[in-house]
Structure 1
Amino acid sequence: MNGGLPVQVYAAGSLREALTEVARAQGGAVALTFGAAGLLRERIERGEPAQVFASADLRQPQRLAEQGGWTAPVVFTRNSLCALVAPSVHTSPAELLDTLLDPAVRVGTSTPLCDPSGDYAWTLFAQADAVHDGARAQLEAKALQLTGAPDSPKAPDGRSTYAWVMQQGHADVFLTYRTNAIAARAECPSLQVVALPEALHVGADYGVSCREDAPPPARAWLSALLSGPVQRILASHGFEKP
């Protein structure tokens, strides 16, 4: 048992809606802490009491495992990058790279190293070089790192970060997870969700780990993430099977 204390689950912000629903469905005592995965990993390293860590990549939990005291991460779900586009911008998957390179179009991303979403955006920029020579340098130079850092502006409570950023007019196109874009569009239907063309496709493997000395309820919470009922909840929020 866990002495009646809640299981401490630290999870990537893109999992907020899905894991909140999972927690309601699972029952039991659980405390959910959400944020950019890189920042959460740093908080855990500084001694915060996480027992389960669900990251939007494998690198962050793998770093904990390499330092000792955490299990090797396993992939429990997948996501993919897409473009969240302001209503004033007209584009399509085939036109998206030209849109991103347009000097008049402000491109928003999350912050690399702090948030895996930003790292995935930089992966997209690297892939763009194979399609348009020099695209990587242009995109890295113009990208606005608007979310995921410790000092990033925070959306009001209850608001989608990405819908709020777009409605505030901070970007014309924001590269983010498909699940984030779906949630933002549900809040602000005028926003567009544009898929990436095949040449720019970037998938995201989500990894989960737990402390090696975690109590049985924490280990059960990790195992539940791979179960059919939880996988169906994740799928309902736009995630893909591992």
Structure 2
Amino acid sequence: MKKWIVASLLVLPLTASAAPIEMRAAGSLKNAMSDIVAAYQLESGQAVNSSFAPSGLLRKRIEAGEAVDVFASANIKHPQTLQRNELAESVVMFAQNQMCAIAQADIELSSQNLLQKMLSSNIRLGTSTPKADPSGDYAWKVFAKADVLTAGAQQQLETKALQLTGGENSKKAPAGRNTYGWVMENKRADIFLTYCTNAVLAQKEVPNLKVVQLPKELAVGANYGMVVLKAAKPDAWKLAMFVLSENGQSILADYGFSAPLKL
């Protein structure tokens, strides 16, 4: 985003309107964005209704006519699609993440042997659902990088990957549970590729899980994009401004996101 656009957002007055702002955000943002929304409501007096789901499914809901004011995606592509179809304003990258691996306690896993373990026939490899959830798309990028290191690895990994989360028909974790902690606790995968922020939250719920960083040869970063919809309420830009503010960026950083606009 151009600096003058950020600056103009940061000086908008925070005055409340009667109708709640409707925010939709990626599931991986639930904890951080819930805190951001709570802080914004306290400061502005403006009510906000939030809903969290895989970004691709949220984009489809918006395209189908769901009334949404602000959309925060786990990638840039879905907001850009809405912008290209003249449903949204300019796309802003407001946070970054990285992919990590979660492993069961009995899996001898390190960054160095991660690819070997993922390719092993006796390892069940879990991912989210590509196209519906950017986490799945990022996992497929990891597989493409693996093919450079081991010929045929991409096809093998794509074939064996269990798409356990993020799809329209994926089994849902009980209310209040971290999806990935729940999946791993129920032994549905031996290794699961997801965002590092998700992995840390999963390990907090299931302490015996291992969290392993991807080696630099397989490392994949995630850029998060936000848009205000063209049909949004006038005050929607004020919520977007708060996400971009020092307060919003600090909350994102507290949850392990790289906050590119943090002052």
Q: Which residue of 1 aligns with 2:235?
A: 217
- Offset, 1:214: 2.2
- Offset, 1:88: 1.2
Aligned match for 2:83, one of 65, 79, 82? 65
| CA offsets 1:27-85 (integer angstroms, 9 cap, x no match) | 13101110000000000011101110000001101111111131121100000100011
Could you tell me whether the CA contact under 8 Å between 1:61 and 1:208 is conserved in 2?
Answer: yes
Could you tell me whether the CA contact under 8 Å between 1:93 and 1:195 is conserved in 2?
Answer: yes
Establish whether residue 155 from structure 1 lines up as the match of residue 173 from structure 2: yes
Establish whether residue 200 from structure 1 lines up as the match of residue 218 from structure 2: yes
Aligned match for 1:169, one of 159, 162, 187? 187
Q: Which structure 2 residues correspond to residues 12-91 of structure 1 after superposition, within 5 A? A: 12-27=26-41, 28-91=46-109
The AA in structure 2 aligned to 1:12 is A
Q: Which residue of 1 aligns with 2:11?
A: none
| CA offsets 1:198-240 (integer angstroms, 9 cap, x no match) | 0000000000001124233210111111111111100110100
The AA in structure 1 aligned to 2:26 is A
Q: CA RMSD in A?
A: 1.1
Moved over 6 A (4+): none
The SS at the match of 1:128 is helix
Distance in structure 1 (CA, Å) of the matches to 2:224 and 2:19:
26
Q: TM-score, normalised by structure 2?
A: 0.90
The AA in structure 2 aligned to 1:5 is A
Distance in structure 2 (CA, Å) of the matches to 1:216 and 1:224:
14
The SS at the match of 1:216 is coil
Could you tell me whether the CA contact under 8 Å between 1:2 and 1:215 is conserved in 2?
Answer: no
Q: Which residue of 1 aligns with 2:244?
A: 226
The SS at the match of 2:217 is helix
The SS at the match of 2:149 is coil
Q: Which residue of 1 aligns with 2:21?
A: 7
Distance in structure 1 (CA, Å) of the matches to 2:58 and 2:32:
18
The AA in structure 1 aligned to 2:123 is V
Distance in structure 2 (CA, Å) of the matches to 1:56 and 1:121:
13
Distance in structure 2 (CA, Å) of the matches to 1:191 and 1:233:
25
Q: Which residue of 2 aligns with 1:239?
A: 257
Percent identical pairs in the alignment equals: 47
- Offset, 1:157: 0.1
